């Protein structure tokens, strides 16, 4: 996510004596943007507003500070307490940077994201999004006040010294965004199909991690070698491709398969995937009659594709 990296590097180098507060499960692009500067950083426990407030309160009120977090965390499928974090930012005089890449196009009015769905997008200083994922093309962007956007445009080396997207790609992004602003058909189908898949998994006892609140359904395996072997057997025996997620992307012991459905999948394909997972779990003598609480919180065949 070059827009995360470039924006954070730029801002954190411009603010003298700035401190950044970052959720411990933030995406690698956020971590890279922060760590590419010499700024002081404080890592708060995942979605823990009490821990965040404690860290904020330890700093002088006048010190520049930036809170960086995501609306949806892609490995666990959970949602940040956005309202509470914005409230803390106002209380402690901090800027906010929100990564909405897993929500854009899929949640909120006109697909504008979780913050817009909560009615507080205007209270966030910088929102970062993507033209991939829900939009279906490629590219990234940030939104914010005119001074912030002009600052990034003028000083972010990751923006200045890169090639612009080809006009055809920009036109495709524009067309997709304009379409999703007026059509909620795909969003409704996505949420309906997600519920069907979740219900199917639950009925079969396939262990969706309890952290999952949205369209991302992480299925816990808990062992790196077995996770890779399960994915291999799904592909070789059932023509189903699910991406194994192993360390260091997730902590050791929380290895998983991450499943997303699309609006175009059929009920028959949902049953196919559920049956395939059930059979593979049995063949590996894996328990599949319970749910696992998260510690950290593209299926493909000739006819099926589940994408991340």
Active-site residues, by number, are: 133
Residue appearing with tokens 């997008």: 121
């Amino acid at each position: 996510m070059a827009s995360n990296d470039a924006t954070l590097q730029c801002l954190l180098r411009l603010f003298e004596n700035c401190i950044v507060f970052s959720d411990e499960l933030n995406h690698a692009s956020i971590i890279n943007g922060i760590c590419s500067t010499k700024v002081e950083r404080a890592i708060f426990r995942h979605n823990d507003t009490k821990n965040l407030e404690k860290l904020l309160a330890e700093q002088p009120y006048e010190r520049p500070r930036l809170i960086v977090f995501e609306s949806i965390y892609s490995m666990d499928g959970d949602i940040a307490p956005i309202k509470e974090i914005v409230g803390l930012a106002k209380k402690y005089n901090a800027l906010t940077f929100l990564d909405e890449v897993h929500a854009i196009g899929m949640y909120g009015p006109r697909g504008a994201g979780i913050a817009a769905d909560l009615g507080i997008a205007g209270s966030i200083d910088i929102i970062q999004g993507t033209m991939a994922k829900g939009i279906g093309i490629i590219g990234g962007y940030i939104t914010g006040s005119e001074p912030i956007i002009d600052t990034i445009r003028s000083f972010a080396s990751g923006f200045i010294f890169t090639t612009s997207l080809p006009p055809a790609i920009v036109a495709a992004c524009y067309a997709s965004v304009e379409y999703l602003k007026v059509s909620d058909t795909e969003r409704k189908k996505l949420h309906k199909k997600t519920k069907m898949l979740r219900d199917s998994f639950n009925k079969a006892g396939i262990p969706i991690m309890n952290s999952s609140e949205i369209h991302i359904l992480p299925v816990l395996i808990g062992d790196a070698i077995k996770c890779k072997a399960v994915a291999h057997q799904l592909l070789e025996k059932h023509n189903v491709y699910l991406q194994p997620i192993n360390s260091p992307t997730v902590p050791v012991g929380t290895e998983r398969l991450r499943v997303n459905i699309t609006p175009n999948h059929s009920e028959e394909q949902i049953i196919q995937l559920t049956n395939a997972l059930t059979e593979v779990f049995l063949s590996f003598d894996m328990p599949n009659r319970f749910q696992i609480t998260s510690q950290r919180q593209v299926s493909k065949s000739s006819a099926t594709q589940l994408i991340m």
